[in-house]
Amino acid sequence: MNFEIHEMLETIRMVRTENLDIRTVTMGINLRDCADSDFDKMKQKIYDKITYYAKDLKPTAEKVAKEYGIPIINKRIAVTPIADLLGNATKEQAVELAKTLDQAAVSLGVDFIGGFSALVHKGIAKGDQVLFEALPEALASTERVCASVSVGTTKAGINMDAVRQLGEIIKETAELTKDKSGLGCAKLVVFCNPVEDNPFMAGAFLGSGEGEVVLNVGVSGPGVVLNALKRYPDADLGEVAEIIKKTAFKITRAGELIGREVAKRLGVPFGIMDLSLAPTNAMNDSVAEILEEIGLERVGTHGTIAALALMNDAVKKGGAMASSYVGGLSGAFIPVSEDNGMIRGIEEGALSLSKLEAMTCVCSVGLDMIAITGDAPASTISAMIADEAAIGMINKKTTAVRVIPVPGAKEGDMVEFGGLLGRAPVIGVNPFSSEKIIRRGGRIPAPLQALGN
């Protein structure tokens, strides 16, 4: 991969003035060979394997970032879904294992470790149920462990028994972490059609189709795209798409260079580049502001979905040309608490929960980092999960829910989470009950689209 001098200078400008960074390098580690009938031995094997493979992840990433002048913000680890190893375990042992993962992450100095996960889109096995029972305490008693659950796929339909349980789990997790405004829920994502190579948290895990170890990369560039558009205020929409496409090419090209160099120095295979635009709380580093630059007075107004569809498609087209292996989620992230433009849209009444849900139909990953009122019933949270899963199932795409029912919070309150997670305006939920549909349980059958053969 050869770079011209003008490309190097352009990359320097993007880093210094437009918030370009590598959001994460995430090492995936396969733990299946750590299974053991002796739980203490299994726990030690897991700790030893993670700390062996990832011992140089942080220092190597920091060295590469310094040498190339492109910041790498997060160093993360994703492991085999832990439920696969819990078939003979107890709830208490599952919590112990979560703490072991946390200890490994702390000792390595990585920001998060993902994979305290279960795939239950067609049924709940013994290990899955153990993980479900452990989730609230595991999330409340660890700092860096992230969890995810797959409740639906286009091929399998939606497991509504799992959806019901997860509404209750999210409520319990919020209560156990109420001293932190329910922050434990920020480490739990519920998926439809999850991917096996996602580098982003909280949903990263290493899927069964992956190898022994791999390095996946997620790059961030909303600020770069926004600044590129500002230079062409009178461009028509076809030209806007072309500008975004060319900018995404440059962002992805820089990201792949860094990712491959980190992987090479660690002696592990390079996996994928995730083309998702991931916002931060920094000024002018917002997906919402890109949509407003395209032509919306405020994100959430009529035309938002069209602008979002245009943006995401152009990012994918440009990024796909720049990378040998595209994967992960590769959709627009719109985590409300981490995007100043999204926060402003809600505060000014332009952006609602229903609009955020509608936006996921065209390209975004899901309802992400949304604070809702603390009195929202578990059945309402389950119904939100079911709605998002249905969007993903029918449209053959990944969708997800990461909501935080903030204990004691009312609609209109502002909750501070701190750090990368930012702050979020509390959104009210529909007051009418979803209890009956959730209590019915069972499985929503796979759609006709599943019969693709």
For 328-370, what is each residue's pLDDT tens digit?
888 888 888 888 999 999 999 999 999 999 999 988 788 999 9
Residue 18 has pLDDT above 70, yes or no: no
% of residues, the chain, pLDDT over 90: 73
Q: 63 lies in a domain? A: yes
Q: 83 lies in a domain? A: yes
% of residues, the chain, pLDDT over 70: 96
- Are the beta carbons of 229 and 292 closer than 8 angstroms? no
| For range 283-288, the mean pLDDT | 82
The per-residue DSSP string of 260-303 comes to HHHHHHHT--EEEEE------SSTT--HHHHHHHHT-SSTTSTT
pLDDT at 368: 92
Q: 65 lies in a domain? A: yes
Give the whole-angstrom CA distance, residue 191 versus residue 121: 9
Q: 88 lies in a domain? A: yes
Per the structure, the count of domains in the chain is 1
Retrieve residue 293's tokens.
């630059």
Give the whole-angstrom CA distance, residue 413 versus residue 426: 5
Q: 369 lies in a domain? A: no
Q: 256 lies in a domain? A: no
Say which DSSP state 420 is in: G
pLDDT at 14: 52
| For range 237-260, the mean pLDDT | 90
Residues 6+ away with beta carbon under 8 Å from 238:
none
pLDDT at 294: 96
The per-residue DSSP string of 37-77 comes to SSHHHHHHHHHHHHHHHTTTHHHHHHHHHHHHT--EEEEEE
What's the mean per-residue pLDDT of the chain?
A: 91
Beta pairing, strands 112-119 & 72-79: parallel
Residue type, 30: N
pLDDT tens profile 86-103: 999 999 999 999 999 999
- Are the beta carbons of 59 and 266 closer than 8 angstroms? no
Q: How confident is residue 5, by pLDDT bands cut at 50, 70 and 90?
A: very low
Retrieve residue 395's tokens.
């449209």
Q: 414 lies in a domain? A: no
Domain that holds residue 68: 24-192
Q: 149 lies in a domain? A: yes
Give the whole-angstrom CA distance, residue 151 versus residue 157: 8
| For range 200-204, the mean pLDDT | 91
Residue 432 has pLDDT above 60, yes or no: yes
CATH of the domain at 61: 3.20.70.20
Q: How confident is residue 73, by pLDDT bands cut at 50, 70 and 90?
A: confident
**Which residue, 417, 116, 74, is CA-closest to 278?**
74
Residue 186 has, within 13 A of its CA and on its CB side, a CA count of 28
How distant, in Å, are the alpha carbons of 115, 146, 322 from that of 38? 21, 25, 47
| For range 76-94, the mean pLDDT | 96
| For range 401-412, the mean pLDDT | 94
